[in-house]
Chain A
Amino acid sequence: MPLIKRNWTSDEADEWTKEDWYAIIISPFSYVLITLGLAMSLFLLPLGFILLGIGIVLTFIMFYIIDPKLKSVSEGYEKKQREYLKNLEKIQRWEE
């Protein structure tokens, strides 16, 4: 089993898997490192450049991991969306 799965079918992508958890864990670090790293870099502090660099690399890794899965979730879901919207309209108008 690969560390990072990059080929998904729609029903596989619907399940919560380790790839989701990678993104969930990396994402807050990306935000914090980019925010503080950029602020400190603008004052030319060496630590700032290091934090910013790590933040950017983590962001690339996160999107590399999550993008194929999200694409698959999207494609699978959009095919069913029309029916779901009809159901939503029924609830809105008290027809269900």
Chain B
Amino acid sequence: MVHFAWLDYFWTIAYLILMIGCGAIFYKLGKRSGSDFFLAGRGLPWWLPATSNFATHTATDTPMWFSGLVYQKGLYGMWYSLFAGWCAISAWVSTRIFRRSLAGTQAEWQTLRFSGLGSEMLRGWIAGWQVAMTMFIAGWVGIAMGNVCNYVFHWPLWYGLVIFSTLCCLYVIASGYWGVIIADVQQGITMLIVIVLVSIWAAIAAGGPAEIVASLKQMGQEEMLNPFRSSGFISGDYPLLWMITMIAVPFLGGFGMATHFDWFVEAQRIQSARNVRDASYSIWWGTAVVLVRNSIWALAVLALFVISKGNFTAEESQLAWFIIGFKYFPVGMVGFFFAAILAIHISTVAGVLNLGSMYATRDLYHHYLKPKATEKEVVWFGRLMTVVVLLGSFFFGLMIGKNVIDWLFFALWLMVAGTWLPNILQVIWWRFNAWGYLSAWIANLGICWLVVWILPAFGIIPELPDYQQFWLLIILVAVIYVPVTLLTKPDDMDRLVKLYVQTRPIGFWGPVKREAERRGLLKALHEFDRKAAEQDQ
């Protein structure tokens, strides 16, 4: 159990008051309209959603899996953290296209990109899926906090899960996305300061950077500092194909939408930015800070590796970052460290609660159940759904328990592996239609369970490493959706032309572009731009 002095309690309580205060301060802005409750009125400068991106993607579980990987594999483990790299290309491609579509959610995008019954089925499917996934994420992050509180105070797991997520829910209910984004800024700054401080403390405790390098050499672990190590193409602990997968999947995924769970979170930030340029910048810079954060973390983790002589178990290594803070920070700073952990936890839970509520409200309630709902009704339903997502997160959190990392790879990677390519095709290929996309989602859901759990359990296929499962799922699911796409009709040309003119997607859109030109739409837009430019002068 970690000892808390009065100054430690002061930091913790002061932080909680500050955070809930955000809800009260922005209550009036949040209740103005559905657009304010979920998108802060679509008027934010780029640095606000960028900070929110960083804060939301720094969750309680993040230092756990990152510490585990770097402690076990050294800097080579950092390639895993490059999954955030999808923003490198997305910032200049899919972010630009999505921002121009103005779709509030990825589900809403479906009714703009596709047409007819298929598009509506996709919207309902993705909305329902996202409500469930946000419950899962909030539960998973929540139970990670339960594990931290179990380590610090010896509380039962559910205390940490329920107490802090509920406090967080209060300000999300009050002020919606306005509260989320403003709280994210102070949370983002707090956590970045503490991440830097922990690494400095850890490096000092280990004798400084040069001493860490010397110790690793003495221990025969010099390779821990080599991110490019390899043990063969698919053999050994450091296969080249794993590294190629870690680079290709996120970066190429940036051409598409929804290629990673984080896309759904970013979609909300993209639409809350005040214009296309700010949306792109928010995505690029938010992720750049995430990657810088990982580099700073690596110093702390390898410092602890040296201090502990590399003797931690896999479970202990996941708590490496927390151990440094609680063990090496002086009295008074421990509370500040715990406040930063709260910031890390709450920023993610807040963002996810608001996001899940947005899908339930905008895509299910407003679009299907009550299309004529007033703005007031939309906001109140959003608040109700925030509570529903919170309650769902308790269920998932208790189900996950201590197996935080085991669930990460399956739920967030393999369960969407087969849709990775379709998520790109929906952006770059006009002929990819609603039925192809829907069949990919459904096929992947079934096949991923077969490949990961069922077939290996019966000895029909061997238990494959996760990156090999990924490529296998891509191939198997393609066998379903490619014929489905080609054997069904293309989407309605009117819908495609409208989308093309508004969003200007990249890739293979030749027939749609020619149709837009034939109808004189592009010429009319050029004329509009010319007149607007003349008026500006």
Binding site for B on A (CB under 8 A): 9-11, 14-16, 20, 23-24, 27-28, 30-32, 34-36, 38-40, 42-45, 66-67, 70-71, 73-74, 76-81, 84-85, 87-88, 91-94
Known interface pairs A35-B295, A44-B213, A88-B103; A11-B288 also in contact (CB < 8 Å): no
Question: Are A42's CB and B526's CB within 8 A?
Answer: no
A90, chain B: closest CB distance, angstroms = 10
Judging by beta carbons under 8 Å apart, are B528 and A80 in contact? yes
**B305 CB to nearest chain A CB (Å):** 12
> A28 and B89: CB pair below 8 A?
yes
At the interface, yes or no: B532 with Cβ under 8 Å from chain A?
Answer: yes
Q: Which residues in B have their C-beta under 8 angstroms from that of A77? A: 100, 275-276
Residue of A40, A42, A44, A81 contacting most chain B CB atoms (<10 Å): A42
Chain A residues positioned under 8 Å from B372 (CB to CB) = 93
Is the CB of B240 closer than 8 A to any CB of chain A? Answer: no
Can you offer 27 A-B residue contacts whose CB atoms are under 8 A? Answer: A10-B532, A10-B533, A11-B526, A11-B530, A16-B506, A20-B92, A20-B93, A23-B92, A27-B88, A27-B92, A31-B291, A32-B85, A35-B78, A35-B81, A36-B295, A42-B209, A42-B296, A44-B213, A70-B96, A70-B276, A74-B278, A77-B275, A91-B112, A92-B367, A92-B371, A93-B371, A94-B367
Tell me whether B251 is interfacial, beta carbon within 8 Å: yes
**A74–B280 CA distance with the chains assembled, in angstroms:** 10
CB–CB A43/B213 < 8 A: yes
Closest 7 CB pairs of A and B: A38-B295, A39-B295, A27-B88, A10-B529, A74-B277, A74-B275, A70-B277
Q: Which of B294, B367, B525 contacts A11 (CB 8 A)?
A: B525
Cα A81 to Cα B273 with chains together (Å): 13
CB–CB B75/A40 < 8 A: yes
Known: A20-B506, A77-B100. 6 other contacts (CB 8 A): A9-B529, A10-B529, A31-B288, A32-B247, A73-B96, A80-B525
Asked whether, in the complex, the Cβ of B276 is within 8 Å of the Cβ of A28, the reply is no
> Among the interface residues B284, B287, B362, B366, which one has the most CB atoms of the partner chain A within 10 A?
B284
Please provide the chain B residues from 270 to 317 with a CB less than 8 Å away from any CB of chain A in the complex.
275-278, 280, 284, 287-288, 291-292, 294-296, 298-299, 302
The answer, yes or no, to whether B400 is at the interface (CB within 8 Å) is no
Q: Is B91 an interface residue (CB 8 A)?
A: yes
Q: Establish whether residues A31 and B287, one from each chain, have CB atoms under 8 Å apart when the complex forms.
A: yes
The answer to whether B199 has its CB under 8 Å from any CB of chain A is yes
A51 to B204 Cα, complex, angstroms: 25
| B82 in the interface (beta carbon within 8 A) | yes
* Complex interface residues of chain B between 466 and 514 (CB less than 8 A to chain A): 498, 502, 504, 506
Most buried by A among B210, B277, B299, B498: B277
B270 to chain A, nearest CB (A): 13
Say how far B36's CB is from chain A's closest CB, in angstroms. 14
Which residues on B sit within 8 Å (CB–CB) of A15? 504
